[in-house]
Structure 1
Amino acid sequence: MDFRDKIFLKSSENMKELPDKSVDLVVTSPPYNIDIQYGNKTSKGKVIDSKGIKYSDNLSEENYRKMLMNVFSECRRVLKDNGQAWINIKNRYLDGVVIPPFWILDMFPDMHLKNLIVWNFDWGGSTNKRFAPRYEFVFWFTKDKDKYTFNLDEVKIPALNYRPDRYKSQMKNPTDVWRISMVSGNFDERTSHPAQYPEDLIERIILSGTNKGQLVLDPFMGSGTSAAVAKKLGRHFVGYELVKEYYDIANERLSKIMEVNHE
């Protein structure tokens, strides 16, 4: 069975459809597990309108981490020997305390952390009890410490303080702090998914970490951003999604990209 360019409507805790060492890059943003009822509009702590898909992100901490361990164990199994994994995850604020996500390191014991990216954005939740959070992390792991794809020239950005007498090029390394806007309601890429990450974020990851024709896996596919970007950049994708509504959103999004590519 050709599993490329497909999204499976099932849990990614068992990816039996994927052979060992068949994937070049994993990129995903796992559920937050912060006990939010997604799909509801609230005001002063009360639901005032309901629309879209509803699901509660409220596993026990033990079951949450067990689920992630199962998924990431499968990701490590299907990654090629020179493969890599990019995991977008943020701090959680529970019971008045910040819980940093550094426990994610335990999920990749046999891989190597190459960068801890700080994704900085310009808007989000507000609070008057602490400084408003405006960043998330992206952990970049490689299976081999030395042999992995890194296409820096594909993702360089213009230097604001360029000096021809000191630098050969006006383009520079984007560093490990990425200022990329979150997906707002007026973005063309916006879907009804409540936690959609931006195509620009995934584009930088896929361009730097893969070559054309290679395979990108997202075990928490959501609205299909990883798949959409992969197809636009000439890569293959494979993914998993449990929620039928999101599965349908992703496939509709992909069908439009396929139509454009065939024009």
Structure 2
Amino acid sequence: MNRIFHKSSESMQELEDKSVDLMVTSPPYNININYGNKWENGKLISSKGKKYKDNLDEENYRNLLEKTINETKRVLKDDGQIWFNIKNRYDKGNMIPPFWVMDFFQDMYLKNIIIWNFDWGGSTNKRFCSRYEYVFFFTKNKDKYTFNLDDVKIPALNYRPDRYKSQLKNPSDVWRISLVSGNSPERTEHPAQYPEELIERIIKVGSNKNDIILDPFMGSGTTAVVAKKLERKYVGYETEKEYIDIANKRLSNG
């Protein structure tokens, strides 16, 4: 497959039923932010990259996600899985956790809610600084799905050879993985880029070589880059041509 389509993922007629092994994505957060410009002390200090405002009408936003999720379920194999990254939002002084997305997955099985914890980000003086996002892990089949635990085990801090066979252990459901900083080698001009390390763990544990990985909100191509590195195939959708160009450049350099 190995292709990124320049269109909305609300319709994926290019993909056959039950043809995808794993979907991982981070949709627009719809948090009413102007992306693409860099501000400091209220002044514009740089302007580059694609500009867009993340402020869909709430009903249209949820309809977009629902249509994309329904299409994903259509193209997902019977033993396939979905990993869905989303964060809290704020409206009129209230925090709105994203648990409403589970309404779109009533016919799937929720296996984990991963807390993706990072060590820096925006600041505020009226509440504690947010340093986490969610990754929902759903499977299409209750019992039959890929889970390559040995490929993602981590060193145990308190390894005791008299009690454990290995000094490696199952990661918890709290993953401490840094955001992509401005000076990171993987940094692009995309304003909401998630780290390769996060996607690498998901693709390793949830798929096998030559499996097809879908990202319906491809952005700068991180999912495709990691899939290629791990010898998987990728397919994605992205409405902004500039981001597709960034993704293809990353893929050609990999």
The TM tier, using the shorter chain, reads over 0.9
Summarize the alignment of residues 65-104 of structure 1 with structure 2, pairs less than 5 Å apart: 65-104=62-101
The CA deviation string for residues 205-256 of structure 1, in whole angstroms up to 9 with x for no partner, is: 0000001010000000000000000000000000000001101000111111
Which letter maps to 1:229? Answer: V
Letter in 2 for 1:9: H
Q: How does 1:27-46 map to 2 (within 5 A)?
A: 27-45=24-42
Residue of structure 1 equivalent to 2:154: 157
Rounded Cα–Cα distance in structure 2 between residues aligned with 1:96 and 1:22? 43
User: In 1, Cα distance between the equivalents of 2:92 and 2:192?
Assistant: 22
Write out aligned runs for 1:220-259 (5 A). 220-257=217-254
State the distance in 2 between where 1:250 and 1:108 align.
Answer: 29
Q: Who is 1:112 aligned against? A: 109
Where structure 2 has 5 or more consecutive residues not aligned to the other structure, the ranges are none
Over 6 Å off, 4+ runs:
none
8 Å CA contact 2:20–2:212 kept in 1: the answer is yes
Other structure's SS at 1:53 match: strand
Q: Aligned partners of 2:98, 2:108: CA distance in 1, in Å?
A: 17
Counterparts of 1:45 and 1:69 in 2: how far apart (Å)?
36
1:132-161 Cα distance to aligned partner (Å, 9 max, x none): 000000000000001000000000000111
Q: Tell me the secondary structure at the aligned position of residue 78 of structure 2.
A: strand
> In the TM superposition, what whole-angstrom CA distance separates every residue of 1:14-51 from its partner, at most 9, and x where no partner exists?
00100000000000000010111101122345544322
Structure 2 counterpart of 1:212, from 209, 213, 222: 209
Partner Cα separation in structure 1 for residue 18 and residue 158 of structure 2: 43
Q: Which residue matches 1:55?
A: 52
Q: Secondary structure at the match of 1:238?
A: strand
Separation in structure 1 between the aligned mates of residue 109 and residue 142 of structure 2, nearest angstrom:
6
d(CA) in 2 for partners of 1:193, 1:246: 7
Distance 2:131 2:208 in 1: 31
Aligned counterpart in structure 1 of residue 171 of structure 2, from 171, 174, 179: 174
For residue 109 of structure 1, report the CA deviation from its aligned partner. 1.7
Structure 1: state its 5+ residue gaps.
258-263
Deviations 1:193-215 (A, max 9, x none): 11000000000000000010100
Q: Percent identity?
A: 72
| CA distance in structure 1 between the aligned counterparts of 2:165 and 2:245, rounded to whole angstroms | 47
TM-score by length of 2: 0.98
Q: Distance in 1 between matches of 2:45 and 2:154?
A: 43
Aligned residues: 254
Q: Does the residue aligned with 2:84 lie in a helix, a strand or coil?
A: strand
Does 2:136 correspond to 1:139? yes
**2:48 and 2:189 in contact (8 A); partners too:** no
CA RMSD of aligned residues (A): 1.0
Which amino acid in the other structure matches residue 216 of structure 2? P
